[in-house]
A and B are shown apart, each in its own frame.
Chain A
């Protein structure tokens, strides 16, 4: 399996495949399907300081090759996650990436400081891309200055490397990425969901109780791929990519676009065994192609002319 092993800040990964945050809970449910130690890592459900109930139902709606969700960061709160979920996950030989969310800078700092001390949490993923998270009327994930400052503050208290999860709902993802890099981020994860809507044909009303929701699944892959392609060429930060990944070919695409590892979200709902299946098939595919290491394919899509043009823009 060595052609799949990947080293990233804080993370020694057996393979570059991990479930994305919010699509895998804290692992318990999927441990009934396979041994979680097979995974490269696990991105756990967003954790906030206090427990949260989340939004009213319906919370999900299907769309063409995708789905909308407005779960609303439901989670049992920091203390419970530390004492129960993370402890339970210790039985597996798998590094955890803790997805941290909050309403204020202080919330993020408090959760990050504590959760980064858990022995199996090897990195943090700052969720600054959830539409519900507001700060002075501006979402953390859409204002580069706010994102830079938050990253800096969290870096000061975290015992493990800090990755920032970027929102695609911005006019320039490159600017956001650079701001996080300036703030001292160790890596980036991208992309979170795209804000969307679905209406009931008969009533004309939104299907999701929250009215809008985050679009995920195969429908968003082209957008995610483009963003990884752009960001990977202008920052030196490693990227864990996500957005519509369903099979080994999708993973190859994101690595070719410049990512270092890949996360699988919505596809877990379609096939609970999708992660171990991708890991196995990815290894076979690379072998059949005669590729010694997955990172030999990294950034294949880059084109220097395109890059130069980008810097001028």
Chain B
């Protein structure tokens, strides 16, 4: 069942350049079961900005009924959101979509988690779940530059963590795929989230490895009704087959949809 709730801000702080960590509390947390799912946030009760903003669930704390999201201020909606202080409420619709299949791997197997920019957050809860199951996790995280890097220490607590920055100001200079190639990291499956060009490069660089890809798309409703967020199905010759990122995804198996 999907619900919406005015959730209370427990903590809200800047953790890197333009990146905020927002912790919300409310009964909706109970519904959050799968890493990679997202919530649809209404940043104002007025009509501008009008649409909700899709943001991934980064970390779930069932004990306290809280969840964390990390977001980058990039436009009008996230700017308004960033001005909300602890104690205020945020209208949250969710959890939405299908997350990463944690049960795909078993104890002793190896997982490679590849994130880019604001695609990194959902990998954190995923990594916690995988390591809990005894799966060996390696993270490769890409950022624009040093001051945009976040959660490096948290990922390091869970497994090997390699950072790449586009300008070389931190970690390896280049893209996440450069790191994977250079270190020839082996994995039984990869899990990835980030900008489309990165997802495409990742899928192409590891054709023989099973992968799960979290897609990004502009959304309207977020619940499957408006058909704003569709993507094409790989190998479809009719030109008619499609998947909705909001309800069929955002996570798809590699080879399923056109990245």
Residues of A within 8 A of B (CB): 22-25, 28-30, 32-33, 51-54, 57-62, 64-67, 69, 71, 74, 217-218, 246, 266, 268-273
Which residues of chain B are within 8 angstroms of A62 by Cβ–Cβ distance? Answer: 49-51, 76-77
CB pair A59 B228 closer than 8 Å: yes
Q: A65-B47, A66-B50, A266-B50 are in contact. Are A29 and B221 (CB under 8 A)?
A: yes
For B241, give the chain A residue with the smallest CB separation.
Answer: A53
Roughly how many angstroms separate A149 CA and B52 CA in the complex, as a whole number? 42
Q: Chain A at the B interface: mostly helix, strand, loop or mixed?
A: loop
Which residues of chain B are within 8 angstroms of A217 by Cβ–Cβ distance? Answer: 47, 50
Roughly how many angstroms separate A269 CA and B41 CA in the complex, as a whole number? 11
Interface flag for B4 (CB, 8 Å): yes
CB pair B48 A64 closer than 8 Å: yes
By the criterion of a CB under 8 Å from any partner CB, how many residues of chain B are at the interface? 32
Interface residues of B in 184-218 (CB under 8 A from A): 217-218
Can you list 12 pairs linking A and B with CB atoms under 8 Å apart? Answer: A28-B224, A32-B223, A57-B228, A59-B218, A60-B220, A65-B48, A67-B50, A67-B51, A71-B228, A74-B242, A246-B47, A269-B222
Roughly how many angstroms separate A25 CA and B227 CA in the complex, as a whole number? 8
Q: Chain B at the A interface: mostly helix, strand, loop or mixed?
A: loop
CB pair B227 A54 closer than 8 Å: yes
**Nearest CB of chain A from residue B232's CB, rounded to whole Å:** 8
CB pair A25 B50 closer than 8 Å: no
CB pair B47 A29 closer than 8 Å: no
**Nearest CB of chain B from residue A118's CB, rounded to whole Å:** 20
Which residues of chain B are within 8 angstroms of A59 by Cβ–Cβ distance? Answer: 218, 227-230
Which residues of chain B are within 8 angstroms of A74 by Cβ–Cβ distance? Answer: 227, 230, 242
Interface flag for B183 (CB, 8 Å): no
Roughly how many angstroms separate A174 CA and B167 CA in the complex, as a whole number? 60
Roughly how many angstroms separate A217 CA and B222 CA in the complex, as a whole number? 17
For A23, give the chain B residue with the smallest CB separation.
Answer: B226
CB pair B51 A269 closer than 8 Å: yes
Looking at the complex, which one of A61, A71, A271 makes contact with B226 (CB distance below 8 Å)?
A71
CB pair B226 A22 closer than 8 Å: yes
Roughly how many angstroms separate A24 CA and B226 CA in the complex, as a whole number? 7
CB pair B50 A218 closer than 8 Å: yes
For B236, give the chain A residue with the smallest CB separation.
Answer: A53
CB pair A268 B221 closer than 8 Å: yes
CB pair B226 A25 closer than 8 Å: yes
Roughly how many angstroms separate A266 CA and B222 CA in the complex, as a whole number? 12
Which residues of chain A are within 8 angstroms of B219 by Cβ–Cβ distance? Answer: 60
**Nearest CB of chain B from residue A220's CB, rounded to whole Å:** 12
Roughly how many angstroms separate A218 CA and B47 CA in the complex, as a whole number? 7
CB pair B52 A270 closer than 8 Å: yes
CB pair B225 A30 closer than 8 Å: yes
CB pair B2 A32 closer than 8 Å: yes
Which residues of chain A are within 8 angstroms of B217 by Cβ–Cβ distance? Answer: 57-58
**Nearest CB of chain A from residue B123's CB, rounded to whole Å:** 24
Interface residues of B in 116-161 (CB under 8 A from A): none
Roughly how many angstroms separate A65 CA and B225 CA in the complex, as a whole number? 21
CB pair A272 B50 closer than 8 Å: no
Interface flag for B70 (CB, 8 Å): no
Which residues of chain B are within 8 angstroms of A53 by Cβ–Cβ distance? Answer: 239-240, 242
CB pair A33 B242 closer than 8 Å: no
Roughly how many angstroms separate A30 CA and B221 CA in the complex, as a whole number? 10
Which residues of chain B are within 8 angstroms of A64 by Cβ–Cβ distance? Answer: 48
Which residues of chain B are within 8 angstroms of A25 by Cβ–Cβ distance? Answer: 224-227
Interface flag for B93 (CB, 8 Å): yes
Interface flag for B42 (CB, 8 Å): yes
Q: A53-B239, A61-B218 are in contact. Are A32 and B52 (CB under 8 A)?
A: no
CB pair B225 A23 closer than 8 Å: yes
What 6 pairs between A and B have smallest CB-CB spacing? A25-B225, A29-B225, A60-B228, A269-B221, A58-B218, A218-B47
